[in-house]
Amino acid sequence: MLMNKYPLVRACWLGSAPYREVWDLQADLVSEVRDGRAPDTLLLLEHPHVFTLGRAASADHLLWDEDERAERDVDVIWSDRGGEATYHGPGQLVGYPILDLAHFELTIPQYLEKLEQSLIDYLAELGVRSEPGGPGLTGVWSKDEKVAAIGIKLNRSVVSHGFALNLTTDMDYFDGIIPCGHAEKRPTSVEALTEHRISTEDAAYEYARHFERVFDAEMAWAPSGARTSTDGAGGVPAI
């Protein structure tokens, strides 16, 4: 039997999904991918309003008090990803690749470089020139403003968490945090840079093509469905 030379990546569009729910889903998938019970997976979605604080964050990175956050319906979650504070919300494409890097023969620096490149290539398709951050600056930047944040977690050889690309994001919500620990650096969005509005779902399918090419993978889309488990009977369906 001929073996497929390209790693299979199951792609899943989850729509709008709460952060904690998808965090739990990622933990399940990390275990299953690591043990060979699930294929490498790319989750694509958007979150309701939430500030997440990574392992390098501190409480003073939150600028809005509890009353302000409640008025704006913003949750706060301390996450196990790398990085500091960031915002997720409607109009932002979030991508969580759960990949065994051994399947792709990648180191962590190589993985991050490819993840950045997939975003840069997609942004170029949208008419946005962008580049990786300079020394000490993670993510993807355009005109000295961050358009995509990146924060990952490594469990043995399996990565999780990923990126957040601002499409039509309400940038006022970033005023509630010190984004990624850099008070002097402000985020931007595709809409602000191009005056072009694109739906998060359309962006998910268009971005996935660039992910597939940059990672030399074979993409297989899972049917849309509930996302409470990974057993194929009500969660992210098996292929």
Active site members: 180
Cα–Cα distances (Å) from 17 to 49, 148, 163, in that order, read: 10, 19, 15
E strands, 191-231, are 218-221
What tokens were used for 126? 């949208």
Exposed, middle or buried: residue 99 (CB in 10 Å: 0-12, 13-18, 19+)?
A: buried
Per-residue HEC secondary structure of 42-67 comes to EEEEECCCEEEECCCCCHHHECCCHH
Identity of residue 54 = G
Sheet holding 75-78, edge to edge: 75-78, 50-53, 85-88
In angstroms, rounded to a whole number, what is the distance separating the alpha carbons of residues 71 and 148?
26
